[in-house]
Structure 1
Amino acid sequence: MNLFENQNQDKKPLAYRYRPKTLEEFAGQKNIVGDKGVLKKILIKSRFMNSIFWGPSGTGKTTLAEIVAEQLNYYYEYLNATKASVNDIKEIAEKAKKRFSIEGKQTILFFDEIHRFNKLQQDSLLHDIEIGNIILIGATTENPYFNLNNALLSRCLMFEFKKLDKEDIFGILKRIREKEEIELSDDVLNYISDIVEGDARQAINFLELLSNLEDVNLSVDEVRQIIQTRKSYDRVEDKYDTISAMIKSIRGSDPDAAVYWVAKMLSGGEDPLYLARRLVILASEDIGLANANALPVAVAGMQAAKDIGMPEVRIILAEVAVYLALSPKSNSAYMAIDKAISEIENNSIQEVPKHLTKLGAKDYKYPHAYKGNFVKQDYMKIKIKFYEYGENKFEIAANERLKKLWGE
C-alpha cells in the first residue's frame, strides 16, 4: 500500500491515517489491480460486479473496496457478519433501491467476514444482488469454495488476495517513518517486515507501538523483546494450506512431515476433530484397499477425538497420522467412484438388469448356491470398467482371483 496522509485526522491510528485512497497508492495484489489485473480492467469500464475478496488479514480487502466505491462514485455501505442480521441487509438494500431510483447512483455493500453468515443466511443476499439493488463485495479470510453456498458463488467474481511481499511491507513502513519522523533503523523495519508475514496492518501497528516509546533508537534485539511475536499457525488464514501439507505428506509416505503439520495445527488451536475427520477421508482416498485397517484406525481416532481433548488427543492424532503415512497407498476406490459418477453425469443412465430386480428374481443366480460362491452373470447391461487395481499385495492378489473367476 502506498500511503496517503490525512492531515486532519492525526489522532487516528497510523494504519487508518495511511490507508491508500487510489489504485496508484495501493501496494501488492498485482494479480488483481496491476496493469493486467482483472479488477483494474473492470474499473476502466466504470462498472463493477458482485465479488468476493478472499485472503489473509492486512492484505487490503477493505481498502480496495473503498477505493472501488470512490473511483466509481458509488455509495458505500459496510456490514460485518459477526454483528449483522438479515434485516440489516434488507434495510440497506431498500435504501439503496430508493437512492438509485432518485439519483441513479448505485450502492456497494461491503460485507466483511461473510463466511460467518451460515448458508441459509447467505441466501438472503441473492435476490438483491440478482436484481441489482446492491453490488456485493463479500470479504473473507476463509476459502469461499468451502464456506459460501454455490448460489452465491455463481453470482460473484472471485478475487484472491495474497500476503504482501516483505519488500512491500518495508516500503510502507519506510514511508510512514519519513512522514512521521520516527527514529527507527532500517534493520528494525526489516525485522518488522519479516515477522508479520505479509500483514500490512499488523506491521503498521507494530511501528506505531514502537514510535510511542520514549526511546525509539532501538536495536533489533530490543524490538524482538518488546514485540515477542513469532511465526505460527493462524486458524483462519493458514488452515487450508496446512491441512493440505499434512494430507500430501501422508500421501507421500513422510511420517515426520505429517507429524510436524499436525503439531503446527494443534499448537495453533485448531479443532482436533477437524484433523481427525480429514484423516478419515484420507484413509479411504489415499490408502484404501492397500491397507484395509487404515479406515477403522482413522475412524477410531475420530471417535476418540470426540471424547478426549487437548493435550492428550495429540497422541491419538499423531498415531493415526504416522500409521497412515507408513501404510502402502492406493487410490483405486477413489478413482473408481469418480469414473462411475462421471459416466452417470455424461452418458445415458443404465437400467437395472431385470434379473437383479424383484420382478426378475426367478432368473437371478444366487452365488452361494454355486461352487466357490461364484457364478457368471451380468450385473450391468453394458459392462464398463471403473476399477483398476492398485500395485499392492492385497489388490494384486484380489485381481488374480477375479481373473480366474471371470476367465479373463
Structure 2
Amino acid sequence: MADLFGRDDGPAARHPAPGAFEASAPRPLAETLRPRRLSEVVGQDHLLGPESPISRMVAAKRLSSFVLWGPPGTGKTTIARLVSAEAGIEFLQLSAVNAGIADLRKVIETARHVRNALGRQTAVFIDELHRFNRTTQDALLPHVEDGTVVLIGATTENPSFSLVSALLSRARVLVVNRLDRMSLGQLLDRAERHQGRQLPLDPDARDALIDMADGDARYLLNLAEDLLGLSGPDILDVAGLSRTVQKRAAVYDKAQEGHYNLLSCFHKTLRGSDVQAALYWAARMIAGGEDPATLFRRLACAASEDVGMADPQAMPQVLSAWDAFERVGWPEGRLFLAQAITYVATAPKSNAAYRAFDAALELANRTGSLPPPKHILNAPTKMMRELGYGAGYQYDHDFPEAYSGQEYFPEELTGAARPEFYRPNERGFERDIRKRLDFWEKARAQRRRD
C-alpha cells in the first residue's frame, strides 16, 4: 500500500523489526562518544594503568567485587561496563534509585543460572549503590560472598557512611577522580573531531567552558553539543558563552560528606591563618547553598578553640557579626561574614585555654571527689563555722596587688608538683597573661616563704 507520498516499500517498511531504527536514531553526544575500550577512558590512570588493580583483574579474566566512588560524570558506569566486557564476563545492571529486593533477586537468579549452566562469572553493576537501604544491602551479601555475583557498585557518597560494613569488607573501594582540565580538554578535542568542526569559542571562552563543567565529562559534552549545534559563523567570547550556556551547579550536599569536607577545610584554614583560603572555602559553601549560620557556628568554635586568649576579642567580633547578619540578612550580610572570617583567620592563635580545661577534666576524673580546702567554703550556719568552714580565708582585696597567694586546690594536689593546666603562649594578648601568671606565681612562692 502506498503512503501519503505515493511510496510503497513493502511489508518490511510498514512493519520494521524491533530495533531497526536504533542505529539511526539521534543520541546525545555524551553517549555517542562513550569510550569503547578502557584505554579510551580519560583521567583515571590510577585505576586503569598497566599495574592498576582493575588492569590486573582484566588481564586475569577474573573479577573481584569493587565499588567505584567518585563525583558525577567521571566515567563510573563506563568503567564498569568495559571492565566486564574486556574480562569476558556477563554484565547486568541495576539502579538503586528505582530497584528493590525483587529486582535484585531476579538479577541474582540470572547470575546463578549463568554460573551453573555456563560456568561463567556475572558482574552486577548497581548504580547509586548508596541508595539501597540496609535490608537490601544485606540481601546482596551472601551472593557476593559465595561468588554468585561480582558486585560492581557506583556511588557519589562516601562508602564508609553509606554502605554497611559487611558489604564494605567484601568489596574493594576504588576512588574515581574528578576530571582535571587536561582530561576535559581531551574530551572537547574528541567532540570536535567527531563533529568535524571546531567549537565556536575563542581560547578564553574554551577555558571558561571547561571551568563551567566543574569536572563533569557528561555535562561538558552536553554543553559542547549545544555549542556545536549553533548556526552562524560567530566566535563566542566569555561573555557570549555565558549568555549561551549555563554553568553547572556546584556539587555540594549540605547533609552529607561534601558538607563536612568543606567545613573541615574552612576550619583548618582559619586555624592555619590563611585568610585567602578561608574566604575561598567559605565562598564555596555559600555558592553551594550552605546556610551562613553554619559558617558562623564554625567561626565561633575557631574563635575559642584556635584563637582563644591570644585575642579575646575574636569571640565578640564573631558574635556581633552573626547578630548583624541575622538583623540585616543576605546579600548585605556577606559584609559581616567576611569581617568575621578575616578577623579570626588573621588573629594570633592559641589553644592553651581549651587544652587547659581538657587537662583539668582529666585530673578531675582521675582523682574523684577530693574534699576542697575548708578556708574557701561558705559558712552560712553556726555548725559549719564550728566545723572550720571559711576559717582562715584571706580576702584578696585586702592585699597588695589584690592578691593573697592563698591555696585553692585540694590539699592532696598541693605538693611539689602543683597542677598547672593553663600555659599561655608568647602570642598576642597571652603575652600579657603570661606576665601576670609569672608575677602571681612569684608572689605566691614569696608569701609561702614568709
The 2-side partners of 1:280 and 1:130 are apart by 48
Q: Are the aligned partners of 2:185 and 2:210 in contact in 1 as well (CA < 8 Å)? A: yes
Q: Are the aligned partners of 2:59 and 2:87 in contact in 1 as well (CA < 8 Å)? A: no
Tell me the equivalent position of 2:407. Answer: 372
The alpha-carbon distance between structure 1 residues 171 and 233, as it changes in their structure 2 partners (threshold 3 A), is closer
1:342-396 C-alpha deviation (Å, 9 max, x unpaired) = xxxxxxxxxx87x73xxxx7xx433566763313437xxxx9x997946255685
Q: Are the aligned partners of 2:356 and 2:423 in contact in 1 as well (CA < 8 Å)? A: no
- Greater Rg, structure 1 or structure 2? 2
SS in 1 for 2:410: coil
1:105-128 C-alpha deviation (Å, 9 max, x unpaired) = 333232323344566765554444
Q: Are the aligned partners of 1:291 and 1:328 in contact in 2 as well (CA < 8 Å)? A: yes
61-70 or 323-332: bigger deviation:
323-332
Tell me the equivalent position of 2:87. Answer: 72
1:379-390 superposed matches below 5 A: 389=423
TM-score of the superposition, structure 1-length normalised?
Answer: 0.70
SS in 2 for 1:204: helix
Q: What is the CA distance between 1:16 and its match in structure 2?
A: 0.8
SS in 2 for 1:105: coil
Tell me the equivalent position of 1:267. Answer: 287
Matched, 1:196 2:213: yes
Unaligned runs of 5+ in 2: 1-21, 360-364, 377-405
Matched, 1:286 2:306: yes
SS in 1 for 2:407: helix
161-170 or 319-328: bigger deviation:
319-328
32-41 or 222-231: bigger deviation:
222-231
1:212-244 C-alpha deviation (Å, 9 max, x unpaired) = 3333x3303285155344587431597566444
Unaligned runs of 5+ in 1: 1-6, 340-351
Q: 2:236 aligns with which of 220, 236, 251?
A: 220
Q: What is the CA distance between 1:251 and its match in structure 2?
A: 1.1
Greater length-normalized contact order (CA 8 Å, ≥ 6 residues apart): 1
Q: Are the aligned partners of 2:73 and 2:219 in contact in 1 as well (CA < 8 Å)? A: yes
Q: 1:248 aligns with which of 268, 273, 280?
A: 268
Matched, 1:207 2:201: no
The 2-side partners of 1:161 and 1:267 are apart by 24
1:309-341 C-alpha deviation (Å, 9 max, x unpaired) = 8668757755654453354434468889999xx
Q: Are the aligned partners of 1:112 and 1:140 in contact in 2 as well (CA < 8 Å)? A: yes
Number of aligned positions between the proteins: 380
1:145-164 superposed matches below 5 A: 145-164=160-179
Q: Are the aligned partners of 1:53 and 1:160 in contact in 2 as well (CA < 8 Å)? A: yes
Q: 2:118 aligns with which of 97, 103, 115?
A: 103
284-293 or 102-111: bigger deviation:
284-293
The 2-side partners of 1:386 and 1:71 are apart by 66
| CA-based RMSD | 4.8
1:6-21 superposed matches below 5 A: 8=23, 11-21=26-36
The 1-side partners of 2:420 and 2:121 are apart by 53
Tell me the equivalent position of 1:349. Answer: none
SS in 2 for 1:164: coil
200-209 or 138-147: bigger deviation:
138-147
1:60-80 C-alpha deviation (Å, 9 max, x unpaired) = 111101111212233323333
